[in-house]
Chain A
Amino acid sequence: AQKVTQAQTEISVVEKEDVTLDCVYETRDTTYYLFWYKQPPSGELVFLIRRNSFDEQNEISGRYSWNFQKSTSSFNFTITASQVVDSAVYFCALSASLYSGGGADGLTFGKGTHLIIQP
């Protein structure tokens, strides 16, 4: 069965600090996709990034960066110079084949990390 673990339930930092959200996954598939979603206080789920298992290059988008390491089955998310608007719940998710024992439709979510940025 596939699984996503976000061990940090809540993180609180002061504005302008850098913060890293951890995501560890388990899957038997050799081809899979990893995602990060943001859920701001307004409640909607916003897609941030998709990464496939063949591409271990780190990705940077403005203040956001993602570090994918297959050797440790991790897909961590770093926010540089955090801002109050970054306050949200962040979800890591894994999608593999329908038959890998995951979340039935192939998409499995972690329980989320609540990030609080204090001014």
Chain B
Amino acid sequence: NAGVTQTPKFQVLKTGQSMTLQCAQDMNHEYMSWYRQDPGMGLRLIHYSVGAGITDQGEVPNGYNVSRSTTEDFPLRLLSAAPSQTSVYFCASRVRETTEAFFGQGTRLTVV
């Protein structure tokens, strides 16, 4: 059972480039979320989904896009990378809002 799989683990982008962070889970969880972690800021929610075809914004959505065409996959797109998006990104999934979240290994993104 792989759990939540994120790719890539590390990425360096130039300002203005776009890219997609991949997230897949094999636990048939309805809820999936993307967080970013910055020093001293904890985990901040970027976008989330409560099921295939349903997405919504979190606390810090600007500059990011998501879609959820299947239960398993929840990719995060950076439209035009900026240095302020340098961060560690975590994807998470859970059964429903009252259960624990399972996290991927994280993606360390640097925008230069």
Which residues in A have some Cβ–Cβ distance to B below 8 Å?
Answer: 9, 31, 33, 35, 37, 43-45, 47, 50, 52, 91, 93, 95-98, 103-107, 109-112
Contacts and interface: CB of A to CB of B under 8 A. Distances in A.
Nearest to B46: A104
A1 to B, nearest CB: 11
A43 B88 contact: yes
Given A43-B88, A43-B106, A45-B90, A105 B97 contact: yes
A104 B45 contact: yes
A90 to B, nearest CB: 11
B103 A45 contact: yes
Interface string B63-95: 000000000000000000000000010101010
Q: Is the interface of B mostly helix, strand, loop or mixed?
A: strand
B33 interface: yes
Interface of B: 31, 33, 35, 40-43, 45, 48, 50, 56-59, 88, 90, 92, 94, 97-103, 105-106
Contacts of B94: 107
B90 A107 contact: no
B100 A104 contact: no
Given A50-B100, A104-B59, A107-B33, A91 B105 contact: no
B48 A105 contact: yes
B100 A105 contact: no
